[in-house]
Structure 1
Amino acid sequence: MSCQKCQNIQPLTNKSGNLLISCAVAELADIMVEYLTKRNIVYELEDKRTIWANIDTLADTISDMCTTHFTSKVLRDDVKMLFLESFETLTASVLIRMKTLQQYKDLLGSQKLIEIIEDGLLTTHFQPIIDIKTNTIYGYESLVRGVKDDGSLIYPDKLFGWAKDGDMLFYLDRACRETSLKTAAVKNIHAKVFINFIPTAIYDPSHCLQSTVEWAKQLDFDPKNIIFEVVESEHVADLEHLKSILDFYKSQGYMVALDDVGSGYASLNMLAKLRPDIVKIDREIIDSIDTNKMNQSIFKAIVQIAKENDIIVLAEGIERAEELAFCAKEGADLAQGYYFGKPSAEPRRKL
């Protein structure tokens, strides 16, 4: 049986039809009537709080409502709508399909995300990761961006915000992993590539990660040069599930890394249970670490645990020579940050 999350998803329809609008109070219905009148949309009042509106295109109408008129949270949460391509008998099961304006707005974000994924409008930027001992490039973290029609970029916070709102984390996470692999192959990267993934977007590792593994094999990547990096690790509640994902990657010959270590209360406990190949110490710990005694203590504790368990230590977010000097002196193996280079479409080949 295949996972339901791996199936195709349907975009928000843009067909014409009838919109049943139910407002929490009559005052909201008055605002809605004013909007419909301004837009020359034919409507009929069912009662003081309920409106039937005949619209040409659902997605365009909702988009217009969300971007040009109904900006208040009260309106978004207290106006409910049900789209019907033709008048139906209004049973309880039909009315359950009613959505708030905010929910429709979330669907529009999902619509945009669907277009980005289906049209191949994801690209990858690469940030160098440095081997401190040899002062050479150890690898790159791959960071995915969306591309707009005008060529400008959509950053991950917006992409994953749309994905969370529309229950599309699985699709976006999978597309990002595959885009990272394809772009690294196109850029002829032979160093290690760090590829982010969100563990809560993966249900059954052997099934949900199948396409990622197949792409890696098809592109002739040496498994030891691919490092799958857990992001948002401090939010993971089910450690056993996360461990099953990491164990699956390891069984395929890949390395795994744990991100933002030191930022969450459970970080050290996670280290002991998950035993990653690499730990990335959170940038908040690295910030001004040459003068911050508390951060120095946390850093040293993580390094000690890592060294005792043969785990590679990566200091993330280095922006100053003094921060690099402290991390190198206290046992960091790898370093990453603007001090060495920002993420860029063309990977930096030399320091």
Structure 2
Amino acid sequence: MSCGRCEKLPEIDFNVTDAYVDIPTEHHGEIFENVLKANKYDYREVDRGYFIKRLNFEDFISFLSNMVFNTVEQKDVKVLPIKAGESLKFSSLRQYKALVEWKSLYQGKEVASIIGESRIKTLFQPIVEAKTGEIYGYEALSRGMMKNGKIMNPEELFSRAKEMDLMFYLDRVCRESSIRAASKQGIKKRLFVNFIPTAIYEPSLCLQSTAKVLREESIDPEQMVFEVVETEKVEDFGHLNRILDYYRDKGYSTALDDIGSGYSNISSLMQLKPDYMKIEMNIIREIHLDSKKQELLDEFICSGKKVGATILAEGIETVEEYNYLKGKDVDLMQGYLFGKPEEVPIKEVELR
């Protein structure tokens, strides 16, 4: 059994002629009716809502969003599109969404096309041995390519996908694109691939396709490190632990990203027993000058070492930061000092 939640992109462009609109209060009813009449929509009232016939659904969503309901009301107004000649059934409820969700879907058509067509460019940033400066591995970073050939801002890509409820699909596409790109580039060192735990329901189902790609590309499990992003937002440690256990059972390593990014309960994270623990860049930035950051680093290193984690400091940009960290019990380093993310991974690091 596969996971349809992350493998099938929801249909966005419908051959729609009708729609049902459910409004939050009776007060909105009179106002809405007047607007429909003024704009000559063919409608009738049905069970506290309104059935509107013969419309262009995308234009209708734009009309409701821009001319009728404010941003607060858009969260409570529900819209059900109805295809031409189709009778209502239980499966129709999957398309019963808040107006704000429909607006996000149509405004995010570029995001949907990036995901649907897997237009993902993978960049590789080197991770180096702290003591020697030799390349230990690479982190794979995903960038969405727009139809005009430009890269969409990663923050916009992921925030839009979240608004559109497409994170499950985007997360999968990025993971698989990273693996295929690494294979194409002939990377044999450790490969750190990000994943968002809230984008995975049941690991044995949601991660089937990822495991399939790894087999197809003949990548050794020991080479793979699956890295939890948005670590500081983790709420369900039981769910995350099930995902990490799945990866471990398959022979892959695991990493926690952004340790120190506003997360106070480090002991809870350490119960997950990650193979790698990445100290986030705000702790590392100018650490040689900041005694409080130095104390935090020592605490994180101590906690990580207790569970046998390899410590990776990320976001290193200056020789001063590098020299300070070399004197600490840090195993690996990552940052612009060693190399920026590139489509073709660098083979050697030259410190500037």
Query: TM-score, normalised on structure 2?
Result: 0.83
Check the 8 A contact 1:228/1:256 in 2, yes or no.
Answer: yes
Equivalent-residue separation in structure 2 for 1:90 and 1:72 (angstroms): 29
Aligned to 2:54: 54
Question: What does 1:70-81 align with in structure 2 at a 5 Å threshold?
Answer: 73-74=71-72, 76-77=74-75, 80-81=78-79
Query: Can you give the 5+ residue segments of structure 2 that lack an aligned partner in the other structure?
Result: none
**Structure 1 counterpart of 2:240, one-letter code:** L
Aligned to 2:268: 269
User: Residues 188, 90 of structure 1: CA spacing in aligned structure 2 closer, same or farther, 3 A cutoff?
Assistant: closer
Query: Can you give the 5+ residue segments of structure 1 that lack an aligned partner in the other structure?
Result: 37-41
Equivalent-residue separation in structure 1 for 2:44 and 2:242 (angstroms): 54
Aligned to 1:120: 118
Aligned to 2:12: 12
Check the 8 A contact 1:28/1:75 in 2, yes or no.
Answer: no
Equivalent-residue separation in structure 1 for 2:289 and 2:15 (angstroms): 61
Aligned to 1:39: none
Equivalent-residue separation in structure 2 for 1:227 and 1:90 (angstroms): 46
The superposition leaves residues 317-343 of structure 1 with CA deviations (integer Å, 9 ceiling, x where unpaired) of: 112222112211112111111222222
Equivalent-residue separation in structure 2 for 1:20 and 1:304 (angstroms): 58
Shift of 1:31: 6.7
Alignment equivalent of 2:171, drawn from 157, 162, 173: 173
Check the 8 A contact 1:281/1:316 in 2, yes or no.
Answer: yes
Equivalent-residue separation in structure 2 for 1:151 and 1:94 (angstroms): 36
Shift of 1:259: 0.7
Check the 8 A contact 1:316/1:337 in 2, yes or no.
Answer: yes
The superposition leaves residues 279-321 of structure 1 with CA deviations (integer Å, 9 ceiling, x where unpaired) of: 1011121122112111111101111233344321111111222
SS in 1 for 2:18: strand
Shift of 1:77: 4.0
Alignment equivalent of 1:239, drawn from 217, 233, 237: 237
Question: What does 1:227-306 align with in structure 2 at a 5 Å threshold?
Answer: 227-263=225-261, 264-271=263-270, 273-306=271-304
Check the 8 A contact 1:194/1:229 in 2, yes or no.
Answer: yes
SS in 1 for 2:54: strand
Determine what percentage of the aligned residue pairs are the same residue: 36
Structure 2 residue 333 is the aligned partner of structure 1 residue 335: yes
Equivalent-residue separation in structure 1 for 2:36 and 2:317 (angstroms): 51
Shift of 1:223: 1.8
Question: What does 1:154-165 align with in structure 2 at a 5 Å threshold?
Answer: 154-165=152-163
The superposition leaves residues 36-84 of structure 1 with CA deviations (integer Å, 9 ceiling, x where unpaired) of: 5xxxxx524758x96846324x235535876x77895246446554433
Structure 2 residue 220 is the aligned partner of structure 1 residue 222: yes
Pick which of 146-155 and 242-251 moved more: 242-251
RMSD between superposed Cα atoms in Å: 3.3
Equivalent-residue separation in structure 1 for 2:171 and 2:148 (angstroms): 24
Aligned length: 341
Shift of 1:153: 1.1
SS in 1 for 2:124: strand
Aligned to 2:318: 320
Check the 8 A contact 2:9/2:169 in 1, yes or no.
Answer: no
Equivalent-residue separation in structure 1 for 2:150 and 2:68 (angstroms): 27
Check the 8 A contact 1:303/1:313 in 2, yes or no.
Answer: yes
Aligned to 1:310: 308
Equivalent-residue separation in structure 2 for 1:183 and 1:238 (angstroms): 31
Equivalent-residue separation in structure 2 for 1:154 and 1:54 (angstroms): 36
SS in 1 for 2:222: helix
Equivalent-residue separation in structure 1 for 2:92 and 2:341 (angstroms): 49
Pick which of 295-304 and 232-241 moved more: 232-241
SS in 1 for 2:343: coil
Structure 2 residue 191 is the aligned partner of structure 1 residue 193: yes
Equivalent-residue separation in structure 1 for 2:347 and 2:94 (angstroms): 56
Pick which of 109-118 and 300-309 moved more: 109-118
SS in 2 for 1:174: helix
Shift of 1:276: 1.2
Equivalent-residue separation in structure 2 for 1:342 and 1:334 (angstroms): 16
Check the 8 A contact 2:35/2:68 in 1, yes or no.
Answer: no
**Structure 1 counterpart of 2:244, one-letter code:** L
Check the 8 A contact 1:124/1:179 in 2, yes or no.
Answer: yes
SS in 2 for 1:154: coil
Query: TM-score, normalised on structure 1?
Result: 0.83
Check the 8 A contact 2:14/2:83 in 1, yes or no.
Answer: no
SS in 2 for 1:150: coil
User: Residues 95, 177 of structure 1: CA spacing in aligned structure 2 closer, same or farther, 3 A cutoff?
Assistant: closer
Check the 8 A contact 1:276/1:311 in 2, yes or no.
Answer: yes
User: Residues 61, 203 of structure 1: CA spacing in aligned structure 2 closer, same or farther, 3 A cutoff?
Assistant: same
**Structure 2 counterpart of 1:314, one-letter code:** L
Aligned to 2:205: 207
SS in 1 for 2:149: coil
User: Residues 16, 239 of structure 1: CA spacing in aligned structure 2 closer, same or farther, 3 A cutoff?
Assistant: closer
